[in-house]
């Protein structure tokens, strides 16, 4: 039997399973256990952990717990002075592509409004979600802690807020996306890449007032939705910039 004490820092305490009250958790282990399994057994997915200290020494997720150790578990901090080699999460992504799990439909719309390729999935099994994530090389965004605990997930994030605008800010902070924001480049409804179209090509589908007042149109090639600079761009672009605190 191994006795171990964990201390969780920052908002990781909000992710602990019921029955655990942070910040300090004591566990008794009956079998050799990796620090990943130990931490996730308390409710915190590995995707949310950026630094683990075992008796003050940095370790990775595969580290096997020793008798009487003290384990400190830290979340991702964007501004903290820890050597890169000790941090467990990557700060930037190879591809800014996302897969939003059920309950994050509004976040998916906001990410698309900011120009990020975002698939949305609901009603699928964990296996199907993970298969799509791997196949399309997407970052998994989910509020399902158990789903994020799957070992194959290299890039994932659990949005903390219930507010989709705040979730967008969180994702942009976590993956350092602010320089890659391109509002009004994707269809918020279906993720298609908007293409500009000559007015004469869509004129038959326009309401009389739109026809009269606007000349600059884009269309989603996937769902056919038409967008025009006036109303959509005037509303959407400032909204995205306001949420992200980006100036003109």
Our CB check for Zn ion shows the closer of 98 and 155 to be 98
Shortest Å, Cβ 166 to Zn ion: 25
- In sequence order, what are the residues at sequence separation of 6 or more whose Cβ sits closer than 8 angstroms to the Cβ of residue 73? 6, 7, 8, 9, 12, 39, 44, 49, 51, 52
Shortest Å, Cβ 93 to Zn ion: 24
> Quick one: which H or E segment has residue 108?
helix 105-113
Give the burial class of 245: count Cβ atoms within 10 A of its Cβ; 0-12 exposed, 13-18 middle, 19 or more buried: exposed
Our CB check for Zn ion shows the closer of 23 and 192 to be 192
Distance CA 197, CA 195 (A): 6
Shortest Å, Cβ 126 to Zn ion: 28
Our CB check for Zn ion shows the closer of 134 and 229 to be 229
Shortest Å, Cβ 139 to Zn ion: 21
Give the burial class of 39: count Cβ atoms within 10 A of its Cβ; 0-12 exposed, 13-18 middle, 19 or more buried: buried
Shortest Å, Cβ 132 to Zn ion: 19
Query: Which residues contact Zn ion (rule: CB under 5 A)?
Result: 187, 189-190, 192, 220, 222-223, 225
CA angle 159-190-164, nearest 5°? 25
The residues that bridge with 2 in the sheet, in sequence order, are 29
The edge-to-edge listing of strands for the beta sheet with 156-157 is: 117-120, 97-100, 139-141, 156-157
Q: Count Cβ atoms below 10 Å from residue 128 Cβ, excluding itself.
A: 11
Our CB check for Zn ion shows the closer of 58 and 192 to be 192
Shortest Å, Cβ 172 to Zn ion: 22
Our CB check for Zn ion shows the closer of 75 and 188 to be 188
Distance CA 174, CA 229 (A): 31
Our CB check for Zn ion shows the closer of 54 and 190 to be 190
């Amino acid at each position: 039997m191994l006795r171990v004490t964990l201390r969780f820092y920052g908002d990781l305490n909000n992710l602990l399973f019921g029955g655990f009250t942070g910040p300090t958790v004591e566990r008794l282990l009956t079998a050799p256990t990796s620090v990943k399994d130990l931490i996730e057994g308390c409710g915190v997915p590995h995707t949310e952990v950026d630094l683990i200290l075992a008796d003050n020494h940095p370790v990775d997720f595969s580290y096997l717990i020793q008798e009487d150790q003290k384990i400190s578990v830290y979340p991702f901090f964007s501004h903290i002075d820890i050597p890169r080699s000790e941090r467990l999460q990557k700060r930037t992504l190879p591809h800014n592509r996302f897969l939003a799990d059920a309950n994050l439909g509004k976040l998916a719309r906001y990410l698309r409004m900011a120009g990020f390729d975002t698939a949305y999935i609901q009603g699928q099994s964990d296996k199907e979600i993970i298969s799509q994530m791997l196949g399309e090389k997407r970052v998994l965004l989910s509020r399902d802690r158990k789903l994020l605990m799957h070992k194959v997930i290299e890039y994932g994030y659990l949005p903390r807020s219930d507010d989709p605008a705040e979730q967008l800010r969180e994702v942009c902070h976590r993956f350092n996306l602010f320089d890659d924001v391109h509002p009004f480049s994707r269809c918020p409804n279906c993720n298609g890449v908007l293409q500009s179209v000559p007015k004469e090509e869509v004129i038959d589908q326009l309401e009389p007032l739109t026809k009269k007042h606007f000349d600059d149109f884009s269309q989603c090639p996937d769902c056919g939705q038409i967008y025009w600079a006036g109303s959509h761009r005037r509303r959407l672009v400032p909204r995205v910039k306001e949420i992200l605190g980006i100036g003109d």
